[in-house]
Amino acid sequence: MSFSSKGFDSNDSLTGRAGGAGKNPPRIPLQKQTGGRRRKPEPLDASGGEAGSDFVPVDNPTGDETTELAEVSPATSAPDADYVADSKRSFLSRLYTGTGAFEVVGKRKMWYIVTAVIIAVSILSIATRQFSFGIDFEGGTQISVPSSSAVTTDSVSKVFSEALGQAPESVQTAGTGASQTIVVRTEALSLDQNRKIEDALAEKFKPELTRNEISVSDVSSTWGKEITQKMLIALLVFLVVVTVYIAVRFDKEMSIAALASLFFDIICTAGAYSLIGWEVTPATVIGLLTILGFSLYDTVVVFDKVAENTRSVLSTTRRTYAEQANLAVNQTLMRSINTTVISVLPIISLMVIAVWMLGVGTLKDLALIQLVGVIVGAYSSIFLAAPLLVTLKERRDDVSRHTKRVLDRRAKIAAGEPVTVAAGAVATASPSGKRRRAR
């Protein structure tokens, strides 16, 4: 923080300790004399500043007439003290207070490697295992039969093959307990074929199974193509709208980082669905759009804090852009964790009650993609978007020069060489109450 004859400039969003010990230095603006009785000055201490003051005079290397006060640490009495994260507290204390003790941005190369591995696995799974599209997309016939001790996936598949002379595309179970059903998926069947398979199943498993308990649904291939086109259009419109919003809301580097995080969410979620092998249904598409919105919201919150912390970082030599961004990540880390946990708990409840207990297949598809998407979205906002933003920012000349100035200054301090405040002249209040110009 610095003071000049025209006012003062500060960054109140910083937390932690200055100089590595104690608390933040007090911020005391100079009082402009406007007439009347002057306040009697405090006696000066041995260092040349006012007693109890946290400011010391510093030579002006530029000869500029502007006078400033350099902020110092009471513990070190060093001007322009560096920010030091409070790492001596417990893990939970550091997590809740957000003092910058968790190094996220500084280890961005490691997170880039982790992200690259996740993307590689997802793309490999999509290329090899591909997706199992539901009947709404591909068209066909779906037959549902209540499960029992005699009605199993193997027995139903055998009856189907004997009745029609061909094996079904898939035979799966859905639900648990009394609500468990056997779901048979196959290509579109004619009315005669539907009646034939119903008669065969009712004859094989009577009296446990009757014709009224067998459910048959048909979806034409034309309808499936229309649903697929609408799904792609909805996803494309969403991405276009989000791109426009991000371009208006953030600067260029933030926009690129946010969009990269969004595409990572899409690839990773699709890869997880391909690995698990569940069917892609319209509910899956709805869930995908929902979790992309969640991920974007989390990224916006993190970037807002980064923008707040780095608003005037280039005017000081105390901290780099990367350090301020890492502090912002720490300050929003607990919020991201709380939001993720609160979102995951009802999704898990939905999967347990609606899927395994009640056997509602549509809710199963919706719950899975939301569970994967919420976790992936939280990861990308913290460990991909923010580090990528710093990498892009440090490619700019002004940010890279500032980072070099900060590191050079710290190297001089470590070597015991004298350093000056980069902002210019610095002075303290004189015994007469007037500001004296640095010589």
The pLDDT assigned to 354 comes to 67
User: Which has more pLDDT, 315 or 388?
Assistant: 388
311-331 core/surface letters (b: 16 or more CB in 10 A; e: else): eebeebbbbbbbbbbbbbbbb
Q: Which of 204-213, 279-288, 405-414 has the highest mean pLDDT?
A: 405-414
Which of the four pLDDT bands, split at 50, 70 and 90, describes residue 346?
A: confident
The pLDDT assigned to 290 comes to 81
What pLDDT, in 10s, does the model give residues 238-254? 888 888 888 888 888 99
pLDDT higher than 70, residue 43: no
pLDDT higher than 70, residue 306: yes
> Residue 120: how many CB atoms within 10 A of its CB?
12
Among the ranges given (205-219, 264-278, 308-322), the one the predictor scored with the smallest mean pLDDT: 205-219
The pLDDT assigned to 285 comes to 80
Which of the four pLDDT bands, split at 50, 70 and 90, describes residue 425?
A: very low
**Mean pLDDT value of segment 149-158:** 83
3-state class (DSSP) for residue 140: strand
pLDDT higher than 60, residue 189: yes
Q: Tokens representing 427?
A: 């002075």
pLDDT higher than 50, residue 60: no
- Upper half-sphere CA count for residue 18 (Cβ side, 13 Å): 22
Alpha carbon distance 391, 111 (integer Å): 12
Angle value at C-alpha 194, between 193 and 199, nearest 5 degrees: 95
pLDDT higher than 90, residue 112: yes
Alpha carbon distance 172, 184 (integer Å): 7
Q: Which residue has the tokens 């030599």?
A: 317
Which of the four pLDDT bands, split at 50, 70 and 90, describes residue 143?
A: confident
Alpha carbon distance 321, 326 (integer Å): 9
157 contact partners, CB below 8 Å, separation of at least 6: 167, 168, 171, 184
Which of the four pLDDT bands, split at 50, 70 and 90, describes residue 212?
A: confident
Helix and strand numbers, DSSP H then E, in the chain: 12, 12
The pLDDT assigned to 221 comes to 67
Per the prediction, the chain carries an average pLDDT of 74
The pLDDT assigned to 16 comes to 41
Among the ranges given (20-34, 159-173, 360-374, 424-438), the one the predictor scored with the smallest mean pLDDT: 424-438
The pLDDT assigned to 57 comes to 39
Strand 170-174 to strand 181-186: parallel, antiparallel, or no bridges (unpaired)?
A: antiparallel
pLDDT higher than 90, residue 394: yes
User: Which has more pLDDT, 95 or 358?
Assistant: 95
3-state class (DSSP) for residue 218: strand
The pLDDT assigned to 83 comes to 61
User: Which has more pLDDT, 42 or 224?
Assistant: 224
The predicted model scores a pTM of: 0.67
In 3D, which of 93, 69, 88 has the Cα closest to residue 79?
Answer: 69
pLDDT higher than 70, residue 187: yes
- Upper half-sphere CA count for residue 271 (Cβ side, 13 Å): 16
Q: What percent of the chain has a predicted confidence (pLDDT) above 90?
A: 19
User: Which has more pLDDT, 77 or 412?
Assistant: 412
Q: At what angle do helices 386-393 and 282-309 cross, to 10 degrees?
A: 50
Which of the four pLDDT bands, split at 50, 70 and 90, describes residue 175?
A: low
Angle value at C-alpha 17, between 415 and 49, nearest 5 degrees: 70
User: Which has more pLDDT, 424 or 111?
Assistant: 111
Which of the four pLDDT bands, split at 50, 70 and 90, describes residue 302?
A: very high
Strand 2-4 to strand 7-9: parallel, antiparallel, or no bridges (unpaired)?
A: antiparallel
The pLDDT assigned to 277 comes to 78
pLDDT higher than 60, residue 26: no
Q: Which residue has the tokens 């005669």?
A: 192
pLDDT higher than 60, residue 119: yes
Which of the four pLDDT bands, split at 50, 70 and 90, describes residue 24?
A: very low
**Mean pLDDT value of segment 197-204:** 85
In 3D, which of 288, 295, 304 has the Cα closest to residue 254?
Answer: 304
Which of the four pLDDT bands, split at 50, 70 and 90, describes residue 13?
A: very low
pLDDT higher than 80, residue 388: yes
In 3D, which of 102, 104, 100 has the Cα closest to residue 114?
Answer: 104
What pLDDT, in 10s, does the model give residues 357-376? 665 556 777 788 888 889 99
36 contact partners, CB below 8 Å, separation of at least 6: none
Among the ranges given (87-101, 108-122, 414-428), the one the predictor scored with the smallest mean pLDDT: 414-428
